[in-house]
Every structure is written in C-alpha cells, then in structure tokens.
Structure 1
C-alpha cells in the first residue's frame, strides 16, 4: 500500500506544480492553453494509440465492464434530474451540475490507473474511454438542449463533437490496429512511445493551471449536489453494477477509480459554448479536483 500511495504523490504533485506555475506566470499565461492543445491533440492520442495497438486485448467480461460504467453514468444523471425537480436550479446552473456529476478528468484517470494497476490498468482505462467519452457527450449535449436550448444543438453538432474528438479517434485507431493484427513500423512505434511519455505529465500540469481557487464563489447548494453525485452517487451505482455483472477485482477497482475522480476541465468549454453557467462550472471543477484526493485515499484503502 505504501508503495502504491507513494506512486500517487507525483500525480498530485504535478497538479500542484501546474497551479504554482500559474501563480508565478511561468513561462506565461499564453503558454499553457497552447500546451493543453498539444496534449489534447497530439500527446494523449499518441499515448492511446501506442498502448492500445501494443496491448493484449483479451480481458474477460468486457461487455459488463463497459455497461456498468455507462448505466451508472445514466442513472446518476436521472437522479440529478429528479433532484432538480424537487429543488429547482436555474437551467444554466443545472447543466453545470450535471456535467460536474457525470464527466471525468481523462488525464488524472489515466495517470492514476497506470500508477496503481500498471500497463494492464492503463489499457482497460483506454478501452473504457472509447465508450464513455461519446456516451457522456451525448448525455451532456442532450441536457443542454432540454434545459437551455441553443441554435447550435442539433444532430450534426452532436455527431461532430464525437467524430472529431481526438481521444475517441485515437482509441478507435489503436484498437483497430490491434484487432487487425497490423504491425506498426518500428520507427513510428518508437515515436509514439516517446510522445506518449510526455502526455500525462503535461496533462497534469495543465489540470493544475486550470484551478481557480480564488474564484470559488458560486452557489453552494449546486456545488454540493454536483460533488455528492460525482464522488458518492456515481461510485455507488458503478460498484453495485460491477458486482452484478461479476467483474473481476481489477475491472471493479478501475471502475470505482473512474467514478470518484473529478469532473473534466473541458466541461468549462462546453458550458461556455452552449450558454451554461461558467462561474459555477469553474467552481465545480476546482473543488472536485481538490477534494478528489480524499476519495482516492479512501479508494486505495478499500479497493487496492
């Protein structure tokens, strides 16, 4: 346990270093948004393609593994909608509550899965991303359409958000290479490997840069509801469903880890594009990123 815990310290240390760089404006405020684009469009896809194309994709009960996550996400959203009927929020704020309750931070997820479970955990996590990212995109865009409405929200927008997502594309490409038994040229494979090593450190530094601690001033009730859904309700659903589908210990542990992580920084971008509550969304991202450390420690105690 102590070895695993010590492996997690660098993950959160990089997040804090990213925040420290933001505070001292190093190298500049303009640098980090561009670095985040590099990570999102180049480094992370390289990591996913490299890992999936070279993995042994023989995991048993992968159907139950994927379905447990998707059903848990859907049930959590339904509960949030019911809560909103009982205690209504402003529609724009509710979209941020839902994003906070069902989305996840890809960078932190892959970094922790790799640190705790090694390469097998990283591969299972990448497989989960292939299905969870488009499913969550569909749910979030549907919520925006139902609660705030927007001329941008149509089937074309939804389809574009999925097929242009570099992480989804990378998972499909890497999985296809593996499934078809294609051997990548050694030079290309080695290039992907080198790029992949930079993905998670850069991603975690960007997570730290995105924290806005001094601006946590949005509605406390919505912030609390969203965080309870993310850190308690979603893990509960995912654990029960994982047990129901008879998943092995590693699969169940990866699902619970997936569930307790903070929401995605990209939630802010969607909130800004589709008229959500960006102040609340920013607060939810920051608070969940900070308090997730406690839930990850609890996860380590009971699941590792």
Structure 2
C-alpha cells in the first residue's frame, strides 16, 4: 500500500495525459512539441541542476553502476530468448526485443525525486547516463539489419547524456551555481516532471495488434518482473543501501520508454507493435512498480 499511495499522483498524471489527448482537441503537433520541450529542455535542466549541486564520489557509486548493468543485462539476455516466440519474423522480434530492457527516464526521475529529492535525482541521473548508451547499443545492434543509424551520433545528440556529462563536469569543478541560475533551473525541473508524465500518457496506444500474445506476455514479464528481481539481487549482493538501493530498484522496475517506438520507426521496424507493447508496459507497471517500490522501502 505504501508504494501505491506514493505513486498515485504520478500515475494520475499519466492517465490525465491519456484522457486529455483523447478528449481535448489540442492536436498532434501540440503533444509532439510538448514531448520535444520536455526531452530537449526541461529534463536536461532537471538533471543538470541535480548533478551540478551534488558532489559525486564515483568510487562509492561503482556498485550502483554494476547493479544497474546487471538489471539491464538480465533484460537483454532474457529478451534474446523471445526470438522463437515470433515464429522467425526477424523484423518484429528485432523491434520488440528492446521492450525487454529499455526504461522510461521521465517516470524514474519523478519517482526517485519524490523519494529522495535532489540526491535521488542525482543518483538516478548518473545511473541513466551510464545505462542509456548500453540500452541503445543493444537496441541498435538488434535492429541493425533492418536499417542504418549511427550509434555514436545518437549518443552525442542525446540531451539526457549531454546534461549528465555537463553536470558531472560542473560538480567536479567545485563551482557553485549562482542563485538566479539555480532558481531558473529549479523551475524548469519542476515543470519537467508534470509535463513529462502528461506526455507519457498522451503517447499511450491502447488499440492495435499485439501480434503473438505469448511473446508480448513474455516480454512484459521480463521487463516488469525479471529485470527488477535481478536489480534487487545485485543491489543486495553488492551491499547498496539508502538512496542508491532505492534508485536501482526504481530504475529496474520502470516500464519501457517511448524512445523504443521512435527507434523502431527510424530503423524500418515494427512501429505500431512497439507502440502497443510500450503502452501495455506502462499500464501494467501501474501495478508492478508500486509492488517493487514497497519491497525496496521495507528491505
């Protein structure tokens, strides 16, 4: 119950975004523009401020990275076993494979920020910065036969990675953010959480075909059950506690990000199928994420 109560406002914003998209005629351009604003401006501002205001000990954070990599690796490995369920349809499998391990950064930052404030956002920020290249590498590798997308170029253009690196650099410099700059970034960050979750809700696609129901159920179970279990096991084995322990559990239990759909479309894959699976992932996570969060808080 503790996890459910804690996450009700965040999932409420997702459902509100879904309702607004369907009941109010803002237009697709509005929602597309909102998602770009969140992705390129608001969330990078949130990440940069949290990291720039925190002194980061990378030696202490090493088990955090290892635990996150273990959870992500579990998703990649288990996702590979789904290939036979797609009856040798390589394009569909390559597209949906990424739904076993990609993660929704917006929801992750919102949840951990509510739990631990700026230190939590900083911890999630450095974990996301380390895991995004690994997730993209695995996704692009599987889709490589279906199209052509430069991985290094994508990494250099990813605003979350750039904001993370900039935050690292500022933190290491020993400088302090001017008060006015801190207030500006803080207000942008406050807007990021609400608008980001509304955008997630607007992107939900509840209609369409799921293809193989067995394959879809398997990938959902991998992302929302096996990956968090692997994260919990790794974090416990490596002795993580406090904000780092909670960060790993939240990270591992996140539903798939909408970026999986974008990548599938760019590389000529099964865009509609991925959109449906991402939406199903998000809706089922409304049940599983509170469960894992409750386990983390009581561990």
Q: How far off is 1:175 after superposition?
A: 1.4
- 1:42 and 2:73 correspond: no
Determine the structure 2 residue equivalent to 1:224.
217
- 1:263 and 2:256 correspond: yes
Give TM-score, length-normalised by structure 1: 0.91
Count of residue pairs the alignment pairs up: 297
Determine the structure 2 residue equivalent to 1:74.
73
Determine the structure 2 residue equivalent to 1:183.
176
Identify the range of structure 1 (183-192 vs 264-273) with the bigger mean alpha-carbon deviation.
Answer: 183-192
2:28 counterpart SS class: coil
- 1:286 and 2:291 correspond: no
1:212 counterpart SS class: coil
Determine the structure 1 residue equivalent to 2:130.
131
Instruction: Please give the residue correspondences for 1:74-223 in structure 2 after superposition, counting only pairs within 5 Å.
Output: 74-84=73-83, 88-145=87-144, 148-150=145-147, 152-153=148-149, 157-223=150-216
Identify the range of structure 1 (85-94 vs 132-141) with the bigger mean alpha-carbon deviation.
Answer: 85-94
Q: Retained in 2: the 8 A contact 1:218–1:283?
A: no
1:172 counterpart SS class: helix
Q: Retained in 1: the 8 A contact 2:72–2:227?
A: yes
Q: Retained in 1: the 8 A contact 2:45–2:189?
A: yes
Determine the structure 1 residue equivalent to 2:32.
33
1:30 counterpart SS class: helix
Match of 2:228 among 210, 224, 235: 235
The 2-side partners of 1:158 and 1:195 are apart by 29
Q: How far off is 1:102 after superposition?
A: 0.6
Which sections of structure 2, spanning at least 5 residues, go unmatched?
none
The 2-side partners of 1:245 and 1:20 are apart by 42
The 2-side partners of 1:300 and 1:165 are apart by 28
Q: How far off is 1:126 after superposition?
A: 0.8
Q: How far off is 1:233 after superposition?
A: 1.5
Give TM-score, length-normalised by structure 2: 0.92
Which sections of structure 1, spanning at least 5 residues, go unmatched?
none
Computed over aligned residues only, the root mean square deviation of the Cα atoms, in angstroms, reads 1.9
Determine the structure 2 residue equivalent to 1:275.
268
> Structure 1 residues 87, 39: CA separation in 2 closer, same or farther (over 3 Å shift)?
closer
Determine the structure 1 residue equivalent to 2:14.
15
1:214 counterpart SS class: coil
Identify the range of structure 1 (161-170 vs 235-244) with the bigger mean alpha-carbon deviation.
Answer: 235-244
Q: How far off is 1:174 after superposition?
A: 1.0
The 2-side partners of 1:205 and 1:87 are apart by 32
Deviations 1:42-73 (A, max 9, x none): 11111111111112424763111101211331
